Copies of this chain bind each other. A is one copy, B any other.
Amino acid sequence: MSNSIGKLFKLTTFGESHGIAIGGVIDGCPAGLKLDFDAIQNELNRRKPGQSAIVTQRKEPDTVEFLSGLFEGKTTGTSIGFIIKNTNQKSKDYSDIKNTFRPSHADYTYTKKYGIRDYRGGGRSSARETANWIVAGAIAKQLLNKIKINAFTSSVGDISLQKPYQELDFSKTESNAVRCPDKDLAERMIESIQKIKKQGDTIGGTITCVAQHVPIGFGEPIFDKLHARLGQAMLTINAVKGFEYGSGFEGTILKGSEHNDAFNTDGSTKTNLSGGIQGGISNGMDIYFKVAFKPVATLLQKYNTIDADGNALTVQGKGRHDPCVVPRAVPIVEALTAMVLADFYLLDKTRK
């Protein structure tokens, strides 16, 4: 059903924000892969709350515990079960939010679809789920060790990185809290988020991701084209509203004679408006795409809403929330990219 992603490298997940633990099962990881556990925990640390002044101040250690599928530090080819305990749930009085639907949240749709909702928090719709993806993505990265995946914040609100990614130094992405490799722009983004935060408001942004050294041949037409599966994965991330790859929406105003990528004699192309994918299959050039994130719906302001009985009411937003989801989403974008590529890596083994 719908809590699984991938065909051969497959992650199945569970867990709510206020339950005992979240976790998952990674099925299909080949045997004999020696895991670097520090690297996995490091990816979790990139995502975890409380890591800087511009993200939620909630404290959760987000420590992954592997329960199966490993022996003497290596994968055995059996399914890898893992959990991440929820340590930050507090027993508190939910009576005020129990019957209230927050605007632009999943509260309303979950209640209507399932007839029941864990009202103690976002439940299954919480972005806490993405910690599971980080674990599987970190393993996928290790499986694909020659492929380099770099995501970074390319805009916060209307502060937007205009340079082509080729002019960026990806090693600088982690050097600032907003995860933009351009230092000056990063500072402006951080200031902007801090200002928004003081207002109890939130702001959107975009993440760009570049996957380099992807071999030719990843992607499975017709319905599992590489960019279609990347798009589906990105659109799965909480708050994502759009996906484009290569020339994207801007490519729609070009003529074919401007847009076509002319070949070099070695099969590489002089330009790369195709974004490294032609006919749904990687062509050996850099794969790059952009993901749009809306502003977080939870505000620390007063807002109007309704309760389960349809009564209008005014609520004062409170709690610890991200003023901008983008910085913490950078490792999530990378993790899903790695999972999708790992799946196609395995699928491609079977095609010739």
Contacts and interface: CB of A to CB of B under 8 A. Distances in A.
Given A109-B281, A236-B225, A249-B242, A295 B256 contact: yes
A296 interface: yes
Interface stretch (A17-25, A39-47, A175-183): A17-25
A267 interface: yes
Given A109-B279, A244-B292, A2 B352 contact: no
A283 B283 CA distance: 39
A162 to B, nearest CB: 15
A259 B255 CA distance: 34
B224 A2 contact: yes
Interface residues of A, number: 146
Contact of A265 (B79, B115, B253, B310): B310
A301 interface: yes
B113 A351 contact: yes
B68 A19 contact: yes
B116 A283 contact: no
Nearest to A12: B12
A93 B274 CA distance: 30
B123 A260 contact: no
A64 B273 CA distance: 36
A304 to B, nearest CB: 6
A53 interface: no
A78 interface: yes
Contacts of A117: 71, 76
A1 B220 contact: yes
A312 interface: yes
A13 B298 CA distance: 35
A22 B202 CA distance: 41
Interface stretch (A27-35, A55-63, A144-152, A166-174): A27-35
Given A116-B74, A231-B243, A350-B28, A79 B109 contact: no
Contacts of A236: 222-223, 225, 228, 280
Contacts of A259: 104, 204, 294-295, 297
Most buried by B among A124, A233, A246: A124
A266 to B, nearest CB: 7
A248 B252 contact: no
B267 A108 contact: yes
B204 A252 contact: yes
Contacts of A65: 20
A24 B267 CA distance: 34
B281 A106 contact: yes
A312 B67 contact: no
Nearest to A31: B114
Given A232-B232, A267-B310, A295-B256, A105 B14 contact: no
Given A77-B352, A228-B232, A228-B235, 11 more contacts: A16-B68, A19-B67, A22-B81, A30-B350, A32-B114, A78-B123, A158-B253, A201-B257, A236-B280, A252-B294, A257-B301
5 contacts: A14-B79, A15-B79, A204-B252, A222-B236, A260-B303
What are the 6 A-B residue pairs with the smallest beta carbon separation, nearest first? A106-B279, A14-B81, A242-B244, A202-B256, A2-B220, A204-B252
